[in-house]
Amino acid sequence: MTFSFFSGTSASMPASTPTFKRWYAYIHAAALMLAVIMIAVAHPAQAATPGEGQRAQLVAINQAVISSELAGRITSVRFREGERFNKGDVLIAFDSALFKARFDRAAQAESAAAKKYGVARDLNKLGSISTGDYEQARSGLGVAAAETRVERVMMDRCSITAPFSGRVGETFVRAAEHVSEGTKLLTIYDDSAFEVETIVPSGWLAWLRPGYALTIAVDETGGRYAATVSRIAGVVDPVSQSVKIVALLANEAPAEGQAPLMPGMSGTILIDMPHDNNQESSERP
Are 269 and 215 in contact by the 8 Å Cβ rule? The answer is yes
Q: How many CB atoms lie within 10 A of CB 38?
A: 10
Does the predicted model carry a pTM greater than 0.85?
Answer: no
CATH architecture, domain defined by 54-62+190-283? Beta Barrel (2.40)
CATH architecture, domain defined by 64-188? Beta Barrel (2.40)
What sign does the CA torsion over 200, 245, 169, 221 have? negative
Are 188 and 166 in contact by the 8 Å Cβ rule? The answer is yes
pLDDT computed for residue 7 by the predictor: 43
Cα separation, 156 vs 102, whole angstroms: 12
pLDDT computed for residue 164 by the predictor: 95
Cα separation, 285 vs 74, whole angstroms: 69
Pairing state between β 184-189 and 166-171: antiparallel
Cα separation, 85 vs 228, whole angstroms: 27
Cα separation, 204 vs 145, whole angstroms: 61
Q: What are residue 73's DSSP bridge partners?
A: 178
Are 182 and 65 in contact by the 8 Å Cβ rule? The answer is no
> In the chain, where are the structural domains located?
1-28, 54-62+190-283, 64-188
As a dihedral over the C-alpha atoms of residue 166, residue 168, residue 174, residue 176, rounded to 10 degrees, the angle is 0
Any idea what the Cα angle at residue 127 is, between residues 126 and 128, rounded to 5°? 90
pLDDT computed for residue 171 by the predictor: 96
- Averaged pLDDT in 10-residue chunks for the chain of 285 residues: 43 52 62 53 42 82 94 95 95 96 96 95 91 93 96 95 95 95 96 93 93 93 93 94 94 77 93 66 39
What single letter denotes the amino acid at residue 122?
A: D
pLDDT computed for residue 257 by the predictor: 72
88: phi > 0 → left, psi -120 to 50 → alpha, else beta; which?
left
Would you give the DSSP letter of residue 258? P
pLDDT computed for residue 270 by the predictor: 92
**Percentages (nearest 5) of helix, strand, coil residues in the chain:** 35, 30, 35
Cα separation, 190 vs 162, whole angstroms: 11
